Amino acid sequence: MGKDCGFYKEEKGSINLLLSIIVPCYNEAPVLDLFFNRTSAVTKQLQCDCEFIFVDDGSADDTLPIMKRLASENQNVFYYSFSRNFGKEAALLAGLENCKGDLVVVMDADLQDPPELLPKMVQAIEEEGYDSVGTRRVTRAGEPPIRSFFAHQFYKLIRRTSKVDIVDGARDYRMMTRTMVNAIISMQERQRFSKGIFGWVGFHSKWIEFENEPRAAGETKWSFWKLFTYALDGLINFSTAPLRVASVVGFVISICSFIYLLIIIFKTLILGIDTPGYASMIVTVLLLGGIQLIAIGILGEYLSRNYLETKHRPVYIVREQNLPEKTSD
Ligand code: UDP
Ligand code: MG
């Protein structure tokens, strides 16, 4: 085995650390070789051993065959292939659950997460004593402005409504210690929102900032709608504030209605019955109807997630893999 490869560190009789690199891939055939070449050029310079775990999230293109080729050419490459597209969160979980590294890093396949930051990340954990190193994009150059705008609003909202520290511009590109990874996989929830989970488990994190890089090849897998539902998932999974908003709005409206009721009684008794009022009545009815529907909708969002959680379905289903059985350390 070469310097930078080897799955079982005990086998080599070395005290080297093992770094697991987890890469979720969905239709990433155009970029996978580029990713592997650029990243392994960096990992070769690291002091630790490395394993790549590619998770094929039900790709329809040549992603899996490329992974298999890489695995046959390199002993430190492993792949995991899902029976269909389960989403990036599922792919991340599969990687985290099945890696053996003392240090674990998750990164996108499209080279938007620069592998050149890896040495800095290892150093922050090994020498500076952090438990994890997160990365933040300081620019969103190359991204449609409307998408950046909504992303900023989402982070503002979630930071205000949730107690969990979710950083604006934070990418999922993050290196963690084994202890932190164990904490993350001990979280049993099925609807996963990693940015929230990373914050929720706590630990000491260092943030590294970098300029946004465009995708090396291929195209983004996130439509505006997919991002919207992802944001909604994040908000609902990590905050119960929307439920409270419904109660607060209901409470305020009740008080206003009560005051209005007193005014009407007063007017009727003192000034006599005043028949016109169609406009104010219809506006009130429609407004209240709308608010009630929104409140029921919010309840429904929470209830449906509760329903999905209680089914205890697996987060992902594996079709094929070349990962060796995990042995206890
Ligand atoms: N991805 C995935 N499953 C999906 C969607 C995306 O595994 O259903 C992977 C994708 O292959 C990439 C990473 O998640 O490695 C980030 O996706 P993308 O680059 O499309 O997102 P963006 O950078 O545009 O936010
Ligand atoms: Mg990307």
- SS in 3 state form for the chain? CCCCCCCCCHHHCCCCCEEEEEEEECCCHHHHHHHHHHHHHHHCCCCCEEEEEEEECCCCCCHHHHHHHHHHHCCCEEEEEECCCCCHHHHHHHHHHHCCCCEEEECCCCCCCCHHHHHHHHHHHHCCCCCEEEEEECCCCCCCHHHHHHHHHHHHHHHHHCCCCCCCCEEEEEEEEHHHHHHHHCCCCCCCCHHHHHHHHCCCEEEEEECCCCCCCCCCCCCHHHHHHHHHHHHHHHCCHHHHHHHHHHHHHHHHHHHHHHHHHHHHHHHCCCCCCHHHHHHHHHHHHHHHHHHHHHHHHHHHHHHHHHCCCCCCCEEEECCCCCCCC
| Ligand found nearest the CA of 109 | 1
Q: Please state the atom number of ligand 1 nearest to the C-alpha of residue 27.
A: 11
| Ligand found nearest the CA of 107 | 1
Neighbours of ion ligand 2 (CB under 5 A): 108, 110, 112
Name the more confident of 26 and 14: 26
pLDDT band at 23 (very low <50, low <70, confident <90, very high): very high
Q: What average pLDDT score do residues 195-219 get? A: 81
Q: Please state the atom number of ligand 1 nearest to the C-alpha of residue 107.
A: 15
Q: What average pLDDT score do residues 197-201 get? A: 85
Write the residue with the smallest CA distance to atom 23 of ligand 1.
220
pLDDT digits (tens, 9 = 90+) for 259-307: 888 888 888 888 777 677 777 787 788 888 888 888 888 888 888 888 8
Asked if residue 326 has pLDDT above 60, the reply is no
Give the per-residue pLDDT at 325: 62
Asked if residue 132 has pLDDT above 60, the reply is yes
pLDDT digits (tens, 9 = 90+) for 217-228: 777 777 778 788
Ligand 2 centroid to Cα of residue 150, in Å, is 17
Q: Which of the residue ranges 51-65, 124-138, 232-246, 297-311 would you say has the lowest mean pLDDT? A: 232-246
What is the percentage of the chain residues whose pLDDT exceeds 70? 91
Give the per-residue pLDDT at 175: 93
Question: What mean pLDDT, rounded, does the chain reach?
Answer: 82
pLDDT digits (tens, 9 = 90+) for 68-124: 999 999 888 999 999 999 988 899 999 999 988 899 999 999 888 889 889 889 888
pLDDT digits (tens, 9 = 90+) for 25-59: 999 898 999 999 999 988 888 878 899 999 999 99
Give the per-residue pLDDT at 12: 41
Asked if residue 9 has pLDDT above 50, the reply is no
Residues near ligand 1 (Cβ within 6 A): 24-26, 28, 57, 85, 87-88, 91, 108-110, 112, 220-222
